[in-house]
């Protein structure tokens, strides 16, 4: 009798155990006119799936791409996620018109019990997802890789609010820190954690987050900045000058990044680069980056995390960028910008009586901003100390805070023209926002609503 009871209890424990995490690393190859895919390897990661398998289907409708995992025998959808990618950005650059490139990407999902069909889709001109690639996967395949990953250092628990299945698991990765600088990384990681939770809606949802940190030791201090002749071989491969933009920080070494990150529970990742020069980046459901030593880290970390976490678009439009938009101005999938000012996607949040589109001091802002951008480019061209750029940022912040905070519709929710890198044809929900300037105004109403939605998707 006792033996039978113990066996039953053991069975229940096994059934309750979370599944392992499977990852498909694949190549995404193409140019501005075409794209194709090929499996690189399948990896069984060392840790259990961090999320709730019962809530595996993505209902956010975010991302330029999405993937689905369905039971091969029944067709039942087991898991799905929307995402964006480096290729998805690169295909809009001028370089993509002249040559073909391959980028490494990954799909992560809870390990299924039986063979599955995996399908990758992409939005068409009308924002509907269309199938690009499908392949079958058997989780019992003996060729699935299970070897230990590279040295990532000991896991640092920054904040554990509860079981991973019930929380958002955010991983902070350090890149360009030597073993002797591990303490510096942990100090910066704890600093940015506090800065994140100073911003709404993260402040109100602090208890919904687990935060972890890993800092694989680097042979040299710092990360690559090729435009100045600085090259570093770091564990994660983080570098400035992505797509030829001096401030855009990415890693193109997806394999290395994933093998390190797999040693912690995570759903979202921000890479802290051991650098002072202003720079960062963020791609939805891939990762975000920030130069941890920069004076604007409070803005930079949270802004880039907004891209990664909720697919927020940049609302600024006077800075130089490498990507290009269609002249047809199609409706973006991002939740905080629109091409339809009379019926914006944040319609439920509009301030009563606010005209659509909403007038603001656009001409005055643009005249000042273009002069500021010219000065910014000159500072970089002369390779002046970062303190000179910091002083320029501080001066610009004072001007923009006053201009955008004292307008007729400041603080109101409407449809303000100028967003998504375009002066015309795209609109944002409020005159100022953390995705528009470095002012201390926090996220706009549309951004806050989008961030709240993602938090509710992952946290109970």
Cβ(163)–Cβ(224) below 8 Å = no
Q: Give dist(CA 402, CA 411) in Å, integer.
A: 13
- Determine, yes or no, domain membership for 187: yes
Percent of the chain past pLDDT 70, that is, above it, reads: 97
- CATH number of the structural domain spanning residue 77: 2.60.40.3250
Same domain? For 219 and 341 the reply is no
How far apart are the C-alpha atoms of 460 and 115, rounded to whole Å? 30
Per-residue pLDDT tens over the stretch 360-402: 999 999 999 999 999 999 999 999 999 999 999 999 999 999 9
pLDDT score at 14: 45
Q: What is the pLDDT of residue 6?
A: 46
Calculate the average pLDDT of the chain.
95
pLDDT tier for residue 230 given thresholds of 50, 70 and 90: very high
Are 182 and 88 members of one domain? no
Identify whether the C-beta of residue 232 lies closer than 8 Å to the C-beta of residue 218: yes
Helix (H), strand (E) at residue 269: strand 268-273
Please indicate, yes or no, whether residues 362 and 419 belong to a single structural domain of this protein: yes
How many Å apart are CA 122 and CA 135, to the nearest integer? 16
Q: Which of 422, 327, 323 is nearest to 95 (CA)?
A: 323
89 with 188, same domain: the answer is: no
In terms of DSSP bridges, do strands 116-123 and 65-71 run parallel, antiparallel, or are they unpaired? antiparallel
Q: Which residues pair with 36 in a beta bridge?
A: 29
* Residue 9, pLDDT above cutoff 90: no
Residue 98 is predicted with a pLDDT of 96
Query: 453-458 — which CB contacts under 8 Å span 24+ positions?
Result: 453/60, 453/310, 454/60, 454/62, 454/309, 454/310, 455/168, 455/201, 455/205, 455/208, 457/55, 457/58, 457/59, 457/60, 458/51, 458/55, 458/167, 458/168, 458/208, 458/267
Q: For residue 331, is it within any domain?
A: no
Rg (CA), the chain: 23
The predicted pLDDT at position 233 comes to 97
Nearest to 257 by CA among 328, 174, 192, 340: 174
Do 127 and 198 belong to one domain? no
94/125 same-domain check: yes
162 and 132 within one domain? no
**CA-CA distance, 104 to 93, in Å (whole number)?**
18
Structure tokens of 291?
A: 């130069």
The token pair that represents 270 in the structure block: 């921000």
Task: Provide the residue range defining the domain that includes 348.
Answer: 337-442
3-state secondary structure of 453: helix
pLDDT in tens, 53-86: 889 999 999 999 999 999 999 999 999 999 999 9
Domain-located, residue 389: yes
**In the predicted model, what is the mean pLDDT of residues 400-409?**
97
In whole angstroms, give the CA distance from residue 403 to residue 406: 6
The CA distances from residue 243 to 190, 281, 419, 435, in Å, are: 30, 12, 21, 21
Q: What average pLDDT does this structure show over 218-241?
A: 97
Q: How many domains does the chain have?
A: 3
Q: What's the pLDDT band for 326 if we cut at 50, 70, 90?
A: confident
Residues 110 and 237 both lie in one domain = no
pLDDT tens-digit profile of 12-49?
A: 444 568 999 999 999 999 999 999 999 999 999 999 99
Which H or E element spans position 16?
A: helix 2-16
Instruction: Answer whether residue 87 is part of any domain.
Output: yes
For the segment 404-433, the average pLDDT, to the nearest whole number, is 98
Q: pLDDT for 137-167, tens place per residue?
A: 999 999 999 999 999 999 999 999 999 999 9
Asked if the structure places residue 286 within a domain, the reply is yes
- Per-residue confidence (pLDDT) for residue 328, from 0 to 100: 86
Buried b (16+ CB within 10 A) or exposed e, 253-286: bbebbbbbbbbbbbbbbbbbbbbbbbbbbbbbbb
Strand 268-273 versus strand 168-175 pairing type: parallel
Whole-angstrom Cα distance, residue 451 to residue 453?
5
Look-up of token digits 């923009």: 400
pLDDT of residue 320: 87
Q: How far apart are CA 158 and CA 194, in angstroms?
A: 10
Does some domain include residue 35?
yes
Q: Give pLDDT, residue 170.
A: 98
- The pLDDT tens digits of the residues spanning 41-52 come to 999 999 999 999
CATH code, domain carrying 270: 3.40.390.10
**Pairing relationship of beta strands 287-291 and 268-273 according to DSSP bridges:** parallel
Which residues are paired to 282 by β-bridges? 288
* 368's tokens: 């000042």
Task: Specify whether 307 is located in the same domain as 172.
Answer: yes
Phi and psi at residue 288, to the nearest 5°: -130, 165
179-197: pLDDT as tens digits: 999 999 999 999 999 999 9
- Judge whether 150 lies within some domain: no
- Interval 285-309 mean pLDDT: 98
**Max CA distance (Å), the chain:** 83
pLDDT value, residue 257? 98
């Amino acid at each position: 009798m006792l033996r039978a009871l113990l066996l039953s209890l053991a069975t229940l424990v096994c059934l309750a155990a979370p599944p392992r995490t499977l990852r498909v690393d694949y190549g995404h190859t193409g140019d501005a006119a075409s794209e194709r895919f090929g499996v690189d390897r399948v990896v069984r990661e060392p840790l259990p799936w961090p999320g709730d398998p019962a809530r595996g289907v993505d209902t956010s409708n975010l991302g330029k791409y999405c993937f689905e995992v369905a039971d091969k025998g029944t067709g039942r959808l087991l898991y799905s996620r929307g995402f964006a990618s480096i290729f998805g950005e690169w295909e809009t650059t001028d370089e993509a018109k002249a040559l073909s490139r391959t980028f490494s990407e990954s799909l992560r999902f809870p390990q299924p019990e039986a063979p599955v069909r995996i399908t990758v889709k992409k939005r068409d001109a009308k924002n509907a997802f269309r199938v690009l690639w499908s392949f079958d996967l058997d989780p019992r395949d003996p060729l699935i890789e299970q070897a230990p990953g590279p040295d990532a250092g000991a896991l640092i628990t920054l904040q554990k609010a509860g079981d991973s299945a019930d929380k958002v698991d955010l991983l902070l990765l350090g890149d360009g820190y030597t073993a002797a600088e591990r303490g510096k990384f942990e100090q910066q990681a704890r600093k940015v954690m506090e800065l994140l939770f100073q911003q709404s809606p993260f402040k109100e949802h602090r208890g919904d987050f687990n935060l972890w940190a890993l800092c694989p030791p680097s042979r040299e201090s710092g990360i690559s900045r090729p435009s100045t002749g600085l090259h570093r071989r770091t564990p994660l491969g983080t570098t400035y000058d992505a797509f030829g933009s001096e401030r855009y920080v990415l890693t193109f070494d997806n394999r290395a990044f994933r093998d390190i990150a797999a040693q912690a529970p995570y759903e979202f990742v921000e890479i802290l680069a051991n650098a002072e020069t202003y720079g960062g980046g963020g791609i939805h459901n891939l990762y975000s980056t920030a130069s941890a030593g920069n004076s604007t880290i409070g803005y930079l970390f949270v802004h880039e995390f907004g891209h990664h976490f909720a697919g927020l678009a940049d609302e600024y439009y006077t800075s130089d960028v490498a990507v290009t938009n269609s002249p047809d101005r199609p409706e973006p999938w991002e939740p905080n910008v629109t091409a339809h000012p009379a019926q914006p996607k944040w319609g439920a949040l509009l301030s009563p009586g606010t005209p659509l589109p909403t007038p603001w001091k656009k001409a005055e802002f643009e005249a000042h901003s273009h002069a500021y951008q010219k000065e910014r480019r000159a500072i970089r061209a002369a390779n002046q100390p970062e303190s000179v750029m910091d002083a320029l940022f501080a001066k610009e912040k004072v001007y923009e805070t006053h201009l955008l905070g004292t307008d007729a519709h400041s603080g109101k929710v409407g449809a303000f023209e100028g967003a998504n890198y375009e002066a015309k044809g795209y609109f944002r929900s409020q005159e100022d926002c953390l995705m528009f300037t470095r002012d201390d105004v926090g996220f706009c109403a549309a951004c806050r609503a989008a961030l709240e939605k993602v938090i509710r998707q992952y946290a109970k």
